[in-house]
Amino acid sequence: MGNMVSKRYYVYNKKPKGCKIPSYMVPRCPVCGGEMAMNLRSDQYFVEDAHWHEQDERFGEFLTENMNKKIVLLEMGVGFNTPMIIRFPFEKLVREHKNISLIRLNLNEAVVPESFGDRAIGINADISKVLWDISRQGQSISMAQTLGREVGRYEPSIKRGIEENDA
């Protein structure tokens, strides 16, 4: 499926026609042939299957096994479409456990509760750019040092999040 989408994307990008997507490029369900949509919790068709529940259980086990250690929750691209799935539970974990911190990466919704103080940071920027900037700093520098010292355009502002163009 991935190669098929990549090839179609490449072909389409070579010859754009008025920003319209040809119908042959719309993904189809292999079972019923209907148009496929993004996996969003917008109706009764959200994929909350056995795999989803297995991953939820594994996360719970991870927390239980590591609750006596420092934990950093890295939240990427989670907005307010379904905040009860990741966003609010992550905030609850930070609120209730002093050993848990939160890094929230989101282009438009990176604000973190001010009450979390220095245990949370919201980065309002393109995720791929932020991850690339962090990765190029090397393994020996902590994320906090990277964000504060080397990547100046992500200067922390807990109250409003971090604006990419505040450089």
Kindly indicate the confidence band of residue 40, based on its pLDDT and cuts at 50, 70 and 90.
low
* DSSP 8-state code for residue 124: B
Over the stretch 81-122, which tens digit does the pLDDT of each residue have? 878 889 999 999 999 999 999 999 998 899 999 999 999 999
Give the whole-angstrom CA distance, residue 120 versus residue 75.
11
Q: What is the mean pLDDT of the chain?
A: 76
Asked if residue 118 is part of any domain, the answer here is yes
Do residues 97 and 146 share a domain?
Answer: yes
Over the stretch 57-85, which tens digit does the pLDDT of each residue have? 999 999 999 999 999 999 999 988 878 88
Domain of 19? 1-37
The pTM of this model reads: 0.62
pLDDT at residue 13, as a whole number: 53
Do residues 84 and 130 share a domain?
Answer: yes
Asked if residue 16 is part of any domain, the answer here is yes
Over the stretch 123-140, which tens digit does the pLDDT of each residue have? 999 988 888 887 776 544
Burial class (CB in 10 A: 0-12, 13-18, 19+), 19: exposed
- Domains in the chain: how many in total? 2
Asked if residue 15 is part of any domain, the answer here is yes
What the block records as the tokens of 45 is: 């068709």
